[in-house]
Amino acid sequence: MTKRRRAWGRKYLAFDIETAKVQPANSYDWKSYRPLGISCAATFLSGADEPLLWHGGAYQKRPAKRMNRQEVQELVNYLEEQVECGYTIVTWNGLGFDFDILAEESGMLEKCRNLAIDHVDMMFHALCQLGHGISLDSAAKGMDLVGKNEDLTGILAPQFWAEGKRKEVLEYVAHDVEITLELAEICGARGLLRWVTRSGAGRKLVLSNGWLPVCLAEKLPRTGTSWMWPHWSRARFTAWLG
């Protein structure tokens, strides 16, 4: 892990979780396998040298199979405390995934709902402005940052964890929050997000007012995306909010 440089402007808290239940490698319908449980998570504050890692059995020699309810609740309370200290939570697809899972596993639906609505989900912001989403890896490459680990993915992480490769998964989630925080800070400072498409073409998204929290991103004018697959409906990401 590289040393963190000085934080730029807005104080962010990058956040990411990894789920515990092993799913078929070719399945992306994660909702049909709920409850998924949380194997581990990472948080990373602007200006900090390294992420804070969360997992079950924190005081044991070996991380537990999954975080229990009390441990997940401690994570929710930590997020709340940091928001009260002036940090803005930032994620990549945290609205449609991480906070949804966090609410289910903690039983703290109202708190997680409030945190999710007020946080910055960069992928959701891009979706609302462009009409489609962008992958974290393509955004990292577009901004000349180190991309995601090519040997491990979010789908494979539960399998690695179950096989006892927990150090690898912890390193994976730590790297993801580092990328997330760097993107939030750099793009916010430049007022611009660049990403690389699957065809290798470069694209850009102007952030006229910086990164918007979910509650404001939702108010952006809708863009038709009927030609795209899968259909990028905002409701896919907000349905759990009720």
pLDDT for 1 equals: 38
Structural domain boundaries enclosing 100: 12-241
* pLDDT value at residue 108: 98
Task: Say if 1 falls within a structural domain.
Answer: no
The pLDDT value given to residue 8: 52
This prediction's pTM: 0.91
- 6 assigned to some structural domain: no
Q: Contact at 8 Å (CB) between 52 and 173?
A: no
227 has a pLDDT exceeding 60 = no
Question: Would you say residue 26 lies in a domain?
Answer: yes
Closest-CA residue to 214 (of 76, 137, 112, 84): 112
- Confidence grade of residue 230 (pLDDT, cut at 50, 70, 90): low
- Does some domain include residue 2? no
What is the per-residue pLDDT for 7? 44
The CATH code of the domain that includes 182 is 3.30.420.10
- Residue 138: is its pLDDT beyond 70? yes
pLDDT of 3 over the 50 cut: no
Alpha-helix runs per DSSP H in 85-227:
99-106, 109-118, 122-130, 136-142, 157-162, 166-190, 214-217
In this prediction, residue 199 carries a pLDDT of 86
Residue 5 has pLDDT above 70, yes or no: no
* pLDDT of 73 strictly over 50: yes
Residue 129 lies inside a defined structural domain of this protein:
yes
pLDDT tens-digit readout, 142-198:
999 976 666 777 788 999 999 999 999 999 999 999 999 999 999 999 999 999 988
- Residue 164 maps to a domain: yes
pLDDT digits (tens, 9 = 90+) for 78-126: 999 999 999 999 999 999 999 999 999 999 999 999 999 999 999 999 9
Residue 4 lies in a domain: no
Number of structural domains found in the chain: 1
| pLDDT at site 58 | 78
Decide if 217 contacts 128 (C-beta within 8 A): yes
pLDDT band per the 50, 70, 90 thresholds, residue 33:
confident
pLDDT for 148: 66
Q: Could you tell me which of 40, 34, 37, 36 has the C-alpha nearest to residue 56?
A: 40
Question: Is 136 inside a domain boundary?
Answer: yes
Alpha carbons 212 and 210: distance in angstroms, whole number = 6
Residues ≥6 apart with Cβ < 8 Å to 146: 140, 175, 179
Q: Which among 211, 210, 217, 192 is positioned nearest to 202, based on CA atoms? A: 192
Q: Considering only CA atoms, which of 156, 195, 184 is closest in space to residue 172?
A: 156
